[in-house]
């Protein structure tokens, strides 16, 4: 379990658990790992809940009503530039302008969960140090019986302690959590057609966060981009502002961009259907087979979830074992040797000299791939070249960025994290229920006449 905490993380616990029950049989491992962290939850749940007293704001009547603007901007898109990298930063963030007047916040992009939340001065009982002053909640509270509130609860007949307030709690696989209340506030968004709109959105005011390890992340909150009702993309498309399509392009060199709406010509991408069973995550309907260096590995039936909330990729125990066995065999006789004193990741190799970049050793590694089939119709290959599964550690070794998911309690699931989506345009089309990808240089941001990011 060597520093599994370091490389995070995110995926909502409850949903993953659901999926696990519906498709797998070995539930005990999952139960085991999730109950460890219930301590904080069960003992302090009631105490942690606050009645928030929103700060007064000036009237917001002068803001553009997005429903009014729908008619004019129905088919535009939004694009935001992204900062960060897989290693050493470990996450990607965007800047959003939120509030009235709008203030900037750095948000971690997470396609593995739905709710967007900011560390919040409600007042805050547990917040980390944030790059910007804490968000002060609007007085526009979401009522407890609202459909977005309902979409975030574990059961349909949830308790409403105060009917005017929606309490939420989200927990992620790596035991991060945020507890708070839902509020509505305005996001200032630049559209690709040149329009700049204030859009009223529902988000979390998180006044009690749990950050279980010491890895500090300079972030103001989380940007939830999942398939659920509360996610940013569901809300934007619900208001008719963009199509229900979200995508990203994360660069091997760091940075990149995310987008909402339809930006790409569908014929340029490879597509596979999205699962209809797991309706919160971007998981594939068809099972994939692992391909090592162009050869079928014999490890099949892999369910894959694409998740920017995880910096590394996780394979289930069987697939991971097959990968390690193949890699060790492939590297036999090559001038790179396994090292045991690099704690960056579980498996690292050193070259003759300390390495500076992946291209010095790329030739020793072959591409791997996930090959998807579904009802015999689609055959889509998701290529993972060496730079999408290796990193160069700060000790100058090359390390494997694919980890054993069984070791962190993910059971049979396979999580495709940031590292394996590098230098690809990834598109999640919630209307057509398709996941698409194509190789791309993510440092080359598409240009729009009216927008530069
Ligand atoms: C987060 O994004 C901002 C700009 O949007 C950037 O200045 C900052 O360095 C980023 N944080 C990290 C850790 O990359
Ligand atoms: C939106 O556009 C304005 C100028 O029109 C620019 O100053 C601002 O930085 C842009 N915001 C984002 C998030 O790109
Ligand atoms: C992966 O993790 C599981 C569960 O901890 C363990 O039983 C298995 O041996 C691990 N596989 C490898 C190749 O380390």
Structural domain boundaries enclosing 345: 266-439
Q: Please indicate, yes or no, if residue 421 is contained in any of the structural domains.
A: yes
Ligand 1 atom 6: residue of nearest CA: 83
Q: Please indicate, yes or no, if residue 35 is contained in any of the structural domains.
A: no
Same domain? 160 vs 53: yes
Assess whether the C-beta atom of 190 lies below 6 angstroms from ligand 2. Answer: yes
The alpha carbon dihedral of 117, 120, 125, 126 has a sign of positive
Same domain? 292 vs 417: yes
Same domain? 192 vs 273: no
**CA 323 distance to own-chain centroid:** 24
Among all chains, which residue has been given the structure tokens 């539930």?
A: 27
Torsion angles phi and psi, residue 121, rounded to 5? -90, 80
Please report the atom of ligand 3 found closest to the CA of residue 346. Answer: 14
Q: Please indicate, yes or no, if residue 9 is contained in any of the structural domains.
A: no
231 contacts 224 by C-beta, under 8 angstroms: yes
Domain count, the chain: 2
Same domain? 139 vs 273: no
pTM for this entry:
0.86
Q: Please indicate, yes or no, if residue 61 is contained in any of the structural domains.
A: yes
Assess whether the C-beta atom of 217 lies below 6 angstroms from ligand 1. Answer: no
Assess whether the C-beta atom of 89 lies below 6 angstroms from ligand 3. Answer: no
The alpha carbon dihedral of 219, 220, 225, 228 has a sign of positive
Q: What are the structure tokens assigned to 253, written together?
A: 């060199």
Peptide bond into 123 cis (omega under 30): yes
Describe the strand order of the beta sheet including 378-384 as a list of residue ranges: 295-296, 288-292, 368-374, 378-384
| 4, 299, 317: residue to mutate for ligand 3 pocket, most atoms within 8 A of CB | 317
Assess whether the C-beta atom of 89 lies below 6 angstroms from ligand 1. Answer: yes
Same domain? 429 vs 294: yes
Ligand 3 atom 9: residue of nearest CA: 317
pLDDT tens for 9-56 read 444 433 333 333 232 222 222 222 222 333 233 333 334 666 655 443
Same domain? 279 vs 361: yes
> Rounded distance, CA 358 to CA 348, Å?
13
Assess whether the C-beta atom of 360 lies below 6 angstroms from ligand 3. Answer: no
Same domain? 58 vs 166: yes
Look at residues 203, 232, 260 and tell me which one is the last residue of a structural domain.
260
Assess whether the C-beta atom of 202 lies below 6 angstroms from ligand 2. Answer: no
Same domain? 319 vs 228: no
Same domain? 360 vs 429: yes
> Rounded distance, CA 401 to CA 396, Å?
15
Same domain? 303 vs 187: no
Give the Å distance between the CA of 403 and the centre of ligand 3. Answer: 10
Q: Please indicate, yes or no, if residue 186 is contained in any of the structural domains.
A: yes
Among all chains, which residue has been given the structure tokens 């399509």?
A: 245
Amino acid 217: pLDDT: 85
**Which CATH number goes with the domain that contains 200?**
2.40.70.10
> Rounded distance, CA 171 to CA 193, Å?
37
Q: Please indicate, yes or no, if residue 239 is contained in any of the structural domains.
A: yes
pLDDT tens for 181-194 read 999 999 999 999 88
Assess whether the C-beta atom of 192 lies below 6 angstroms from ligand 2. Answer: no
Q: Please indicate, yes or no, if residue 40 is contained in any of the structural domains.
A: no
Overall size of the chain counted in residues = 453
Beta bridge partners of 291: 296, 369
Ligand 1 atom 13: residue of nearest CA: 84
| 82, 92, 105, 106: residue to mutate for ligand 1 pocket, most atoms within 8 A of CB | 106
Amino acid 376: pLDDT: 61
The closest ligand to the CA of 453 turns out to be 2
Q: Please indicate, yes or no, if residue 444 is contained in any of the structural domains.
A: no
> Rounded distance, CA 299 to CA 253, Å?
31
Same domain? 239 vs 275: no
Amino acid 409: pLDDT: 85
Same domain? 76 vs 104: yes
pLDDT in tens, the chain (453 residues): 222 223 334 444 333 333 332 322 222 222 222 223 332 333 333 346 666 554 433 333 333 333 333 334 446 999 999 999 999 999 999 999 999 999 999 999 999 999 999 999 999 999 999 999 999 999 999 999 999 999 999 888 899 999 999 999 998 888 889 999 999 999 999 999 889 999 999 999 999 999 877 677 899 999 999 999 999 999 999 999 999 999 999 999 999 999 999 888 888 899 999 998 888 799 998 889 999 999 999 998 898 999 999 999 999 999 999 999 999 999 999 999 999 999 999 999 999 999 999 999 999 999 999 998 756 665 799 999 999 999 999 999 999 999 999 998 888 999 999 999 999 999 999 999 999 999 999 998 887 766 666
């Amino acid at each position: 379990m060597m520093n599994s905490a370091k490389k995070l993380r995110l995926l909502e616990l409850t949903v993953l658990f659901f999926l696990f029950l519906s498709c797998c049989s070995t539930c005990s491992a999952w139960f085991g790992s999730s109950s460890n962290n219930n301590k904080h939850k069960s003992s302090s749940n009631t105490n942690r809940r606050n009645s928030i007293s929103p700060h007064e704001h000036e009237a917001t009547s002068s803001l553009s009503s997005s429903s009014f603007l729908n008619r004019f901007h129905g088919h535009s898109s939004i694009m935001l530039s992204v900062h960060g990298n897989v290693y050493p930063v470990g996450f990607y963030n965007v800047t959003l302008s939120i509030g009235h007047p709008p203030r900037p916040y750095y948000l971690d992009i997470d396609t593995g969960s739905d709710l967007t939340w900011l560390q919040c001065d409600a007042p805050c009982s547990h917040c980390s140090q944030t790059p910007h002053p804490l968000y002060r909640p609007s007085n526009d509270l979401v009522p407890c019986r609202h459909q977005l509130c309902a979409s975030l609860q574990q059961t349909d007949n949830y308790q409403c302690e105060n009917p005017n307030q929606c309490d939420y709690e989200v927990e992620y696989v790596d035991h991060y959590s945020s507890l708070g209340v839902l509020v509505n506030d305005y996001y200032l968004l630049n559209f690709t057609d040149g329009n700049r709109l204030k859009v009223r959105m529902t988000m979390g005011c998180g006044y009690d966060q749990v950050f279980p390890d010491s890895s500090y992340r300079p972030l103001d909150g989380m940007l939830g981009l999942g398939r659920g009702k509360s996610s940013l993309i569901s809300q934007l498309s619900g208001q008719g502002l963009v199509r229900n399509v979200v995508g990203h392009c994360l660069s091997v060199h760091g940075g990149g961009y995310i987008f909402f709406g339809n930006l790409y010509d569908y014929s340029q991408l490879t597509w596979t259907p999205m699962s209809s069973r797991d309706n919160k995550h971007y998981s594939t309907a068809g099972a994939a087979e692992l391909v090592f260096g162009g050869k079928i590995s014999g490890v099949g039936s892999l369910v894959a979830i694409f998740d920017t909330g995880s910096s590394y990729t996780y394979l289930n125990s069987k697939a991971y074992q097959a990968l390690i066995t193949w890699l060790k065999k492939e590297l036999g006789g090559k001038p790179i040797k396994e090292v045991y004193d690099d704690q960056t990741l579980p498996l690292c190799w050193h070259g003759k000299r300390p390495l500076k970049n992946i291209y010095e050793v790329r030739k020793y590694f072959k591409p791997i791939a996930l090959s998807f089939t579904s009802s015999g119709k689609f055959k889509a290959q998701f290529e993972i070249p060496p730079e999408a599964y290796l990193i160069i550690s700060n000790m100058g070794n090359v390390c494997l960025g694919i980890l054993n998911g069984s070791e962190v309690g993910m059971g049979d699931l396979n999580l495709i994290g940031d590292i394996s989506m590098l230098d690809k345009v990834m598109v999640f089309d919630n209307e057509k229920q398709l996941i698409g990808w194509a190789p791309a240089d993510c440092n080359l941001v598409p240009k729009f006449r009216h927008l530069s990011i």
